[in-house]
Amino acid sequence: MAADSSVPPKSCGQPHFWRFHETLAVPMSLFCHNRARLVSRLQAKGEVTAAGTFVVLQGGVDVPFNDTDTNWPFRQESFFQWCFGVEEPGCYGALDVGTGASILFVPRLPPEYAIWEGKLHTLDDFKERYSVNEAHYTDEIARVLKEKRARLLLTLNGRNSDSGLLSREAIFDGISEFKVDNSILYPEICECRVIKSREEIEVLRYVCMISSEAHKAVMRSVRPEMAEYKAEACFQNYVYNMGGCRHVSYTCICGSGHNSSILHYGHAGAPNDKVIMDGDMCLFDMGGNYCGYAADITCSFPANGKFTEDQKFIYNAVLKARDAVLAAAKPGVTWTDMHLLANRVMLTSLKEGGLLVGDVEGMIRAGLNEVFQPHGLGHLLGLDVHDVGGYLPGHPERSKEAGLRKLRTARTLLAGMALTVEPGCYFIDCLLDAALVSPKQSKFIVREQLQRFRGFGGVRIEDDVLITEDGVENLTNVPRTVEEIEKFMAGAKNAKVN
Ligand SMILES: [Mn+2]
């Protein structure tokens, strides 16, 4: 359709991140606006005298495979991506908090690098491509900042509340000649990342749409006797081939049968290598990544396309929990309350189906919710799949209570947040065995009924949602009800026959 497929369709003269054909053209103004949001937040802070204050960020660096001269495919550091959208490793960036001006510093590559990398870009090329005010080489950072009379540098130092790891704090030759503060920036930039701009929402919408389509392609291809890793291969091919997503956002989880109860199945020691059997539940958790932005979607369905009564029972218990959250989530409600709502709805269904007995509130007080769903309801989503900002100063701290301690945030919802909603129900032997010997938990479990579900695996239903002014917008679009899934998979089977 497009006359010239080398030009982004929505090009209006400004540079874009864009791959090809119908992939999304992401305007560099997305990153300009992110920088402007950060600068105005910092200007509003009393302790920052804007004149002579500069934010200095260090981008990601190439990471070699061990001691070899081959690197991991490069992925930009997320704070740097959020500010600059730069695709190359080894860069730095600075923001003048007084004026909002942006400066990009790129590595000065020896001329012979043109042999391996092609024609080397000039500073003007970088300035133009990334829509920054100035571009210089990384060996000029101290000189440039001194010329601009920088008095205080704000660097990034903070601990990720999901991984426990520290951010990369900028360090460069000559930094000791400046006054450096490494405490102000982190919470402020994290808070900026929590609220998505209109342009960021467009990217999330796109990567969730492509990832939803990829999940549907997987559902169409799955059949008994197929190896799990073929589902992973199908997903990766779809998001890259059709959506321009070079990366997925995390290691693909393609568990079938009992493996669907292993929360991070697909890891190096269990690389999606079982054969999917007739009668298995499949739990596939995969998300593409476009321009740094992540999708994180889980589909659970029977391998043969038809739910058994037991599969329907567990699936509908989780679906009801998901529906309750999608109906109740909106600005002003707390994520902890949404988590407990999901738990309560699911445990009530398990009780109605005869698997549990007793008072549902009592089950929650006894921590039984964590036995069947040993993870939180969901997490913030953005450039990182478990995005930053879950636990920041001034917001509720992580609970120590069973049933709540796994939550990746306990915040009150705000319009513009993106989160996953991912209730689940799993039959995990070590947790069930422990519950059965715990007097306060075992009294709620009907042992003979539970026995039937040993080896069942698990169900998770994970949607990516945006909190709007009055509710949620679901960015995910895949078959969700039992009827939708069975119809979709039957249609795929018939299409194969014809
Ligand atoms: Mn998730």
pLDDT in tens, 308-323: 999 999 999 999 999 9
Q: How far is residue 60's CA from residue 41's CA, in Å, rounded to a whole number?
A: 24
Calculate how far, in angstroms, residue 444's C-alpha sits from the geometric centre of ligand 1.
29
Calculate how far, in angstroms, residue 379's C-alpha sits from the geometric centre of ligand 1.
7
Calculate how far, in angstroms, residue 458's C-alpha sits from the geometric centre of ligand 1.
15
Q: Give the pLDDT confidence score for residue 6 in this predicted structure.
A: 54
Calculate how far, in angstroms, residue 416's C-alpha sits from the geometric centre of ligand 1.
18
Calculate how far, in angstroms, residue 420's C-alpha sits from the geometric centre of ligand 1.
6
As a whole-number percent, the residues of the chain with pLDDT over 90 amount to 93
Calculate how far, in angstroms, residue 235's C-alpha sits from the geometric centre of ligand 1.
17
14 versus 354: the higher-pLDDT residue is 354
SS3 199: helix
Calculate how far, in angstroms, residue 284's C-alpha sits from the geometric centre of ligand 1.
11
Calculate how far, in angstroms, residue 171's C-alpha sits from the geometric centre of ligand 1.
33
Q: How far is residue 375's CA from residue 369's CA, in Å, rounded to a whole number?
A: 9
Q: Give the pLDDT confidence score for residue 40 in this predicted structure.
A: 95
User: Is the confidence at residue 12, as pLDDT, over 70?
Assistant: no
The CATH architecture to which 16-194 belongs is: 3-Layer(aba) Sandwich (3.40)
Give the mean model confidence (pLDDT) for residues 148-154.
Answer: 96
The span from the first CA to the last CA of the chain, in angstroms, equals 29
In the numeric block, the tokens 């715990």 are attached to: 438
Question: Encoding tokens for residue 366?
Answer: 């006894």
Q: Give the pLDDT confidence score for residue 497 in this predicted structure.
A: 52
Q: Give the pLDDT confidence score for residue 432 in this predicted structure.
A: 98
Give 466's strand partners.
418, 473
Give 180's strand partners.
153
Calculate how far, in angstroms, residue 406's C-alpha sits from the geometric centre of ligand 1.
13
Calculate how far, in angstroms, residue 376's C-alpha sits from the geometric centre of ligand 1.
9
Calculate how far, in angstroms, residue 64's C-alpha sits from the geometric centre of ligand 1.
28
Calculate how far, in angstroms, residue 367's C-alpha sits from the geometric centre of ligand 1.
22
Which residues are CB-neighbours of 420 under 8 A, at least 6 positions away?
296, 378, 379, 381, 462, 463, 464, 465
Calculate how far, in angstroms, residue 418's C-alpha sits from the geometric centre of ligand 1.
12
Give the mean model confidence (pLDDT) for residues 189-216.
Answer: 98
| pTM above threshold 0.75 | yes
What is the 3-state composition of the chain as percent helix, strand, coil, each rounded to the nearest 5? Answer: 35, 15, 45
Calculate how far, in angstroms, residue 381's C-alpha sits from the geometric centre of ligand 1.
8
- Does an H or E element contain 33, and which? helix 29-43
Calculate how far, in angstroms, residue 196's C-alpha sits from the geometric centre of ligand 1.
18
User: Beta-strand (E) ranges in 177-217?
Assistant: 179-181
Calculate how far, in angstroms, residue 422's C-alpha sits from the geometric centre of ligand 1.
7
Mean predicted lDDT score pLDDT of the chain:
95
User: Is the confidence at residue 34, as pLDDT, over 50?
Assistant: yes
pLDDT digits (tens, 9 = 90+) for 280-289: 999 999 999 9
Calculate how far, in angstroms, residue 297's C-alpha sits from the geometric centre of ligand 1.
7
CB 196 within 8 A of CB 205: no
pLDDT classification of 494: cutoffs 50, 70, 90:
confident
Calculate how far, in angstroms, residue 283's C-alpha sits from the geometric centre of ligand 1.
13
pLDDT digits (tens, 9 = 90+) for 132-146: 999 999 999 999 999
Calculate how far, in angstroms, residue 290's C-alpha sits from the geometric centre of ligand 1.
17
Which residues are CB-neighbours of 309 under 8 A, at least 6 positions away?
none
Nearest to 37 by CA among 81, 94, 83: 83
Which residues are CB-neighbours of 456 under 8 A, at least 6 positions away?
258, 261, 281, 310, 311, 314, 427
Q: How far is residue 134's CA from residue 422's CA, in Å, rounded to a whole number?
A: 43
The CATH architecture to which 198-495 belongs is: Alpha-Beta Complex (3.90)
pLDDT classification of 8: cutoffs 50, 70, 90:
low
Calculate how far, in angstroms, residue 442's C-alpha sits from the geometric centre of ligand 1.
29
Calculate how far, in angstroms, residue 139's C-alpha sits from the geometric centre of ligand 1.
40
Number of Cβ within 10 Å of residue 489's Cβ equals 21
Calculate how far, in angstroms, residue 477's C-alpha sits from the geometric centre of ligand 1.
16
Q: How far is residue 146's CA from residue 134's CA, in Å, rounded to a whole number?
A: 15
**Which long-range contacts (C-beta less than 8 Å, at least 24 apart) are formed by 361-366?**
362/444, 363/444, 364/340, 364/403, 366/438, 366/440, 366/441, 366/444
Nearest to 216 by CA among 488, 497, 421, 490: 488
User: Is the confidence at residue 5, as pLDDT, over 70?
Assistant: no
Calculate how far, in angstroms, residue 355's C-alpha sits from the geometric centre of ligand 1.
27
One-letter amino acid of 172 = F
Calculate how far, in angstroms, residue 393's C-alpha sits from the geometric centre of ligand 1.
23
Q: Give the pLDDT confidence score for residue 11 in this predicted structure.
A: 45
Q: Give the pLDDT confidence score for residue 493 in this predicted structure.
A: 75
Calculate how far, in angstroms, residue 388's C-alpha sits from the geometric centre of ligand 1.
13
CB 276 within 8 A of CB 256: yes
Q: Give the pLDDT confidence score for residue 91 in this predicted structure.
A: 98
Calculate how far, in angstroms, residue 380's C-alpha sits from the geometric centre of ligand 1.
9
CB 256 within 8 A of CB 457: yes
Which residues are CB-neighbours of 155 under 8 A, at least 6 positions away?
56, 57, 169, 170, 180, 181, 182, 185
Give the mean model confidence (pLDDT) for residues 267-287.
Answer: 98
Calculate how far, in angstroms, residue 137's C-alpha sits from the geometric centre of ligand 1.
38
Q: How far is residue 133's CA from residue 82's CA, in Å, rounded to a whole number?
A: 17
Q: Give the pLDDT confidence score for residue 492 in this predicted structure.
A: 82
CB 436 within 8 A of CB 385: no
Nearest to 91 by CA among 113, 73, 107, 102: 107
Calculate how far, in angstroms, residue 286's C-alpha sits from the geometric centre of ligand 1.
9
Calculate how far, in angstroms, residue 378's C-alpha sits from the geometric centre of ligand 1.
6
CB 215 within 8 A of CB 297: yes
Task: Count Cα neighbours of 207 within 13 Å in the Cβ-side half-sphere.
Answer: 33
Calculate how far, in angstroms, residue 263's C-alpha sits from the geometric centre of ligand 1.
10
Say whether 198-495 and 16-194 share the same fold: no
Calculate how far, in angstroms, residue 260's C-alpha sits from the geometric centre of ligand 1.
15
Calculate how far, in angstroms, residue 373's C-alpha sits from the geometric centre of ligand 1.
13
In the numeric block, the tokens 């695996």 are attached to: 457
User: Is the confidence at residue 10, as pLDDT, over 70?
Assistant: no
Per-domain boundaries in the chain: 16-194, 198-495
Give the mean model confidence (pLDDT) for residues 435-452.
Answer: 97
Calculate how far, in angstroms, residue 462's C-alpha sits from the geometric centre of ligand 1.
7
Nearest to 214 by CA among 296, 274, 273: 296
Calculate how far, in angstroms, residue 287's C-alpha sits from the geometric centre of ligand 1.
9
Give the mean model confidence (pLDDT) for residues 184-195.
Answer: 98
User: Is the confidence at residue 151, as pLDDT, over 60?
Assistant: yes
Calculate how far, in angstroms, residue 296's C-alpha sits from the geometric centre of ligand 1.
5
- As residues whose CB is below 5 A from the ion ligand 1, the structure lists 296, 420
pLDDT classification of 49: cutoffs 50, 70, 90:
confident
pLDDT digits (tens, 9 = 90+) for 393-429: 999 999 999 899 999 999 999 999 999 999 999 999 9
Calculate how far, in angstroms, residue 423's C-alpha sits from the geometric centre of ligand 1.
10
Q: How far is residue 226's CA from residue 290's CA, in Å, rounded to a whole number?
A: 29
User: Is the confidence at residue 112, as pLDDT, over 80?
Assistant: yes
Q: Give the pLDDT confidence score for residue 496 in this predicted structure.
A: 58
For the four alpha carbons of 265, 391, 31 and 185, in that order, the dihedral sign comes to: negative
User: Is the confidence at residue 498, as pLDDT, over 50?
Assistant: no
